Amino acid sequence: MADGSNATTTRERPTGLPLLATWLSRAQGEPWLAVVAATFTLAQLVLVRTGLGWDETVYVSQVSGRIPAAFFSAPRARGISLLTAPIASWSDSTALLRAYLAILSGLALHLALRVWRTHTRPHVLALAGALFASLWVTLFYGPQAMPNYWVAIGALACVGCFVRVRMNGRDRPAWWGVFMGAALMAWMRPMDAVYVALPLFAFALRSPRLLAVMAAGLLAGAGEWVAEAYASYGGLTHRLADASRIQGGLGWHLAAVDQLRSLGGRTLCRPCTGPLPDPAVTLWWFALPLLAGLGAWSATRTRRTLPVLLAGTCAVTIAVPYLFLIGYAAPRFLLPAYALLALPVAHGIAHLVTAPARVTARTIAVSLVAAVLACHLAVQYTVLEHTVRNSAAARAGWSRTAAALHEFGVRPPCLLSGYEAVPIAFYSGCGSAQTTGHDTSTTTASLIRAVHRTPFAVLRLPGHRPPAYARSWRVKRVGHLQAYVAPDAWRGW
């Protein structure tokens, strides 16, 4: 009896060389995850150097200690503003904010990938991380004050922890991971969180505890957004309706073609016209479903079906609204789908290079896959460089316009309205107010009253008439725009 008891204990808790072998097998691939995350961070710091974009100025202004807060429209959530607050609340340095977000995004990617290490082979997991991190859209938006990358990280962590809970209900860290991943998604973009969570709720129907944890996470993340809906937007239904209207009305739209057009480096495709990018730029997009399908098929043969299929299913549910339900496109919308699809795609690529039985065939397969991935990386870098250059030029133009406005007496505290007033106001240190469009926040009467209290200018494209109250004001060319400057500002000048 004693011998049998000891033997059982040894099998359950290996010691000596067996214990070392077990530890090594679990640790295998961990350094590669760190390498992927570190390379991703370094690439952002080196390659993505731009001023703040339009949406970024809105988010950062909410927590800035110097810039008046821009109007916060119904679809936006304050998660990314709060994430940037540790830097933006006391520093105006865009470079410092970029470095902070780049480091944070690399750490977050590493943690989200580690979630999957218990049910994904190490080399496949590292490949999945590298595939996602090397996309130009991931590199471009990782260090930006935008919510989509963080929804992707939340989705990756939440789905991975969900799978761990399904496989082992005693995995307490995984339970917390489900909650925190759902909360992070909802904190950044509540509706995206719901789309990602739909398959998870379906899989958890027989587990009331898992359903409760998922729901609690979503409510924890979206609680502020819902409370703000009642405090400032006339209720949750009204805020959802406003969000739908601003996005052009949710309904059947074939936005997949628009997404294709945006792959060439168009950060916002609205309206989305013009030719499609070169096929070399879009080829990887068509390969995604094929490789993901191959990965799902190969996973069924290795008894890894649930992780791969669940990641793929959640990728589909978050992608469908942005491919078929809105009338415009931005490549960042699909970041959560790309993060989740990276796992089945990595499985598919791994199957391609390991399936051939003969050494020669395997060598050829590895060489071909390596060559294709190298070409893919070169294309991604080219598009990234093009996108960064164009974005930097546009943001430098806003900065020059702001400097010109300062010369004409429009200095803080000041107010801007009209064309591109939101980002230019941020660069000028001014507030912004609009009477039409998605950022409508005031009335014409209120603007007229503000003329006598603060330096004020209305911005228009050349050839476009100003509002009636500004037609007698002095006009000056500022950058590519015309500024109609209120008389009080001119007297100060």
Domain annotation covers residue 213: no
Look at residue 162 and tell me if it is in a domain.
no
In a domain, 5, yes or no: no
Identify whether residues 322 and 406 lie together within a single domain: no
Which of 355, 383, 402 is the last residue in one of the domains?
355
pLDDT, tens digit, for every residue of 62-81? 999 889 999 999 999 999 99
* 254 shares a domain with 348: yes
Provide the token pair at 435.
Answer: 């009477």
Give pLDDT tens digits for 265-311. Answer: 999 998 888 889 999 999 999 999 999 999 999 888 877 788 999 99
Residues 264, 349: one domain?
yes
pLDDT in tens, 165-190: 999 999 999 999 999 999 999 999 99
Q: Are residues 265 and 317 in the same domain?
A: yes
CB 156 within 8 A of CB 112: yes
Q: What is the token pair recorded at 293?
A: 């399908």
| Same-domain check for residues 398 and 305 | no
pTM of this prediction exceeds 0.85: yes
Position with higher pLDDT, 252 vs 412? 412
410 occurs within a structural domain? yes
Can you tell me the distance from the alpha carbon of 327 to that of 249, in angstroms, rounded to the nearest whole number?
A: 8
Tokens 């001023």 correspond to 51
Least confident of 100-114, 228-242, 345-359, 400-414: 345-359
CA distance 80 to 151: 10
Q: What DSSP string describes 413-463?
A: S-EEEETTHHHHHHHHT-EE-BSSSTTB---HHHHHHHTTTS-EEEEE-TT
Q: How would you class 477 by CB atoms within 10 Å of its CB: exposed for 0-12, middle for 13-18, buried for 19 or more?
A: exposed
pLDDT confidence bin for 489, thresholds 50/70/90: low
- Mean pLDDT estimate for the chain: 91
**Domain presence at residue 313:** yes
DSSP 483: E
**Same domain assignment for residues 262 and 334:** yes
Tell me if 414 is assigned to some domain. Answer: yes
The answer to whether residues 423 and 468 belong to one domain is yes
User: Which among 51, 139, 93 has a CA at the least distance from the CA of 385?
Assistant: 139
With respect to residue 72, please indicate whether it lies within any of the assigned structural domains: no
Q: Is residue 417 part of a domain?
A: yes
Same domain, 400 and 481: yes
Reply yes or no on whether the pLDDT at 454 is more than 60: yes
345 shares its domain with 265 = yes
End-of-domain residue from the set 355, 381, 407: 355
Rounded Cα–Cα distance for residues 386 and 388 (Å): 6
Domain limits at 443? Answer: 392-492
What CA dihedral angle connects 155, 160, 165 and 170, to 10 degrees?
-120
Number of domains forming the structure of the chain:
2
The 3-state DSSP class for residue 478 equals: strand
Alpha-carbon distances of 314 from 118, 197, 342, rounded to whole Å: 20, 7, 12
- Identify the pLDDT of residue 176: 98
Exposure string over 96-110, b if 16+ CB within 10 A, otherwise e = ebbbbbbbbbbebbb
What's the rounded Cα separation, in Å, for the pair 22 and 24?
5
Residue range 33-57, pLDDT digits in tens? 999 999 999 999 999 999 999 999 9
Q: Which of 329, 355, 381 is the last residue of a domain?
A: 355
Which among 233, 282, 212, 262 has a CA at the least distance from the CA of 75? Answer: 233
C-beta of residue 493 within 8 angstroms of C-beta of residue 406: no
Q: Are 430 and 477 found together in one domain?
A: yes
In whole angstroms, give the CA distance from residue 348 to residue 354.
10
